[in-house]
Amino acid sequence: MTGGHDAPVGIADRLRILPQHLLPQHFLSRQLHAIMRWRCRPWKEAVIRWFIRHYDVEMDCALHADPSAYEHFNAFFTRPLRPDARRWSDTSGVIGCPVDGRVSRIGQLTGESMIQAKGRDYSLHDLLGGDRELVSELADGCYCTLYLSPRDYHRIHMPLDGRLRRMIYLPGRLYAVNPVTARVVTDLFAANERVVNVFSTEAGTMAVIMVGAIFVGSMETVWAGRITPPYGARAVVRDYADKPIELRRGEEMGRFNMGSTVILIFGPGRAHWSSALADGTPVRLGFDLGSVISDGADGAGIRADR
């Protein structure tokens, strides 16, 4: 990406981020979580219509195009799409994009190191909460960081068929995840609250990581329901290895009640990203992100410019 994440950090950027260090992030997120569920008809319809205009939301893709059809703002924000609004490839081994959004970073891990922004790396170990077994499976693999803007569809779908192995809730801060914050805040994605979902797939281990952010720290999955809020003080690991939770490619796996970032990671030599992708590329749900590397095939994820 030539701008955004890669622009040099200046004093103006640091001053813009300063309030985030001082704000009561979780308190404000809890309040907004409640406000966005108010059912007062004049209020919620006014907010929804303003939001559509301000962010240029594509309502023609929504299952319910009428803003008055939603019981509250959060129902609108997590609105379902029409069944024909997104297309998934019929080709075997294609990795489908799990969200609508934009590629923030895409490339290959160097050992446990991942790129957050130009000149600012962070650790897979920290991102995964120190899970050594999972780190060893994914180190030197490939990753794709996907940013969801306010106008985007905010449900998350399966990139491949998968069997859930475990889910890890990791408490943390709730910084914004915009390009300026990514340039300024050290270890942003490993510092923020997140949910790590680990699946067994035809490409081996796949991690789908949901990263919370200020005002958007409410996350849920289809198997566990709402995870946050309330916000925990310690990590929680739920083991699903012996439970038959299997999801097909394209099935909904979770959602942001408000939005943030999804990080998709595969182990070394198991997936190859499409050459059409680069940092900053806009993507849509079902878009071909890449393909599974068959056993014995040669290949690796593309490398991001450092």
In order, the DSSP letters of 73-122 are HHHHHTPPBPTTSS----STTEEE-SSSEEEEEEEE-BTTEEEEETTEEE
User: Cα(47)–Cα(49) distance, rounded to whole angstroms?
Assistant: 6
> Which residue do the tokens 């001082």 mark?
22
Residue ranges of alpha helices (H) inside the chain are 11-22, 25-35, 41-55, 73-77, 124-127, 132-138, 179-184, 188-191
Contact 168, 177 (CB under 8 A): no
Specify whether the CB–CB gap between 159 and 249 falls below 8 A.
yes
Residue 194's alpha-carbon distances to 8, 147, 171, 187, 258, in angstroms, are: 27, 14, 7, 13, 14
C-alpha span between 128 and 122 (Å, rounded) = 11
3-state secondary structure of 47: helix
For 246, other C-beta atoms within 10 Å of its C-beta total 13
The answer to whether residues 188 and 175 touch, using CB atoms and an 8 Å cutoff, is yes
Given a contact cutoff of 8 angstroms between Cβ atoms, the answer to whether 135 and 96 are in contact is no
Two tokens at 156? 């998350």
Active site members: 100, 157, 260
Q: Report whether 213 contacts 256 (CB < 8 A).
A: no
